[in-house]
Amino acid sequence: MWSFRSSAELIAQLRQRMRDELNSRWTDPEMRNALNDALRNWNGRVKLPMIYALADGWSSSEFEYALPDYVVEPLTPQYQAPAVYGFSSGNDSTPAPDRRWVDVKWCKVEVDGSGGRVLRLNRMLSAPGRILYWVEQGDLPAVDGEISGSHSATATTLTLASLESTTPTHGAVQLGSSEWAFYAGVDWENNQLLNVQRGMSGGASSLSNGATVEWGIAAPEMRLFNQLYDQAISSLHSLFLTDASAQERSHHERLIMFHQQRADAFWRTWTSGRNPRMIGG
């Protein structure tokens, strides 16, 4: 079960912990930078599950499938097969709810002639298809986005009015007031978030023009946010080491040590384990 926090929520909770709710000691950009520094500490430890959906599925006339840059290895290709038979010939008429996802074992990733990557199947397949992979979370952009045009509750490509250059290629976003979603891939030319997994929390709903898109962080366990806050607090106190008085510097150094030790101690009890398998439709 994933837990989510928006950028605004993270900054507000961080200020409460530091008793700086009047913004008298740290600015919002400093808070965001400290959170992003702390988030990079999750690299290699906490990852998001992503789904790259093949629009036309696996084709009976194709061996090779070009991979977008944002689909990273290791990856798990899958085809959708009838739950009873476990194999799809492409000719069955089993309704989608009664089908299951099966790993494609006979494949490998290769470099093509132009330096890109292709997924090569050892035999052709005709069935609905997707590719599962896992990514690290990127930095929190400084500016929230907003929806351009209207989008249904099932839309998996979302068009924004604009995209900041710091927008990560994968991440978690809050859509409107309550819905959380994962996205995998960015179309910079058209200001679009791609392969959006709707309703990860809060339920999917239609989005009207101007609806807010707020960047956030997803965690598989709530206690990860405590580690994030400790790491960020240690970073924020370090900002005072260059121009504080000797007495103040000593105070900040003690707090840096205290919160850094707590942040480091967390990882000694954290076990990410193997990537969980996604078996839903």
Instruction: Kindly report, residue by residue over 224-233, the tens digit of the pLDDT.
Output: 999 999 999 9
Tell me the domain boundaries of the chain. 10-46+220-276, 48-135, 137-219
Instruction: Kindly report, residue by residue over 81-112, the tens digit of the pLDDT.
Output: 876 554 444 455 555 556 789 999 889 999 98
Residue 254's pLDDT band (cuts 50, 70, 90): very high
Give the pTM.
0.84
Instruction: Kindly report, residue by residue over 193-238, the tens digit of the pLDDT.
Output: 999 999 999 999 999 999 999 999 999 999 999 999 999 999 999 9
Distance CA 163, CA 208 (A): 18
Q: Which helix (H) or strand (E) holds 40?
A: helix 28-40
Distance CA 249, CA 123 (A): 66
Is residue 126 packed enough to be buried (19+ CB in 10 Å), middle (13-18) or exposed (0-12)? middle
Q: At what angle do helices 223-238 and 246-267 cross, to 10 degrees?
A: 150
Instruction: Kindly report, residue by residue over 122-152, the tens digit of the pLDDT.
Output: 988 899 999 999 999 999 999 999 999 999 9
Q: Which helix (H) or strand (E) holds 133?
A: strand 127-135
Closest-CA residue to 213 (of 168, 163, 166, 154): 163
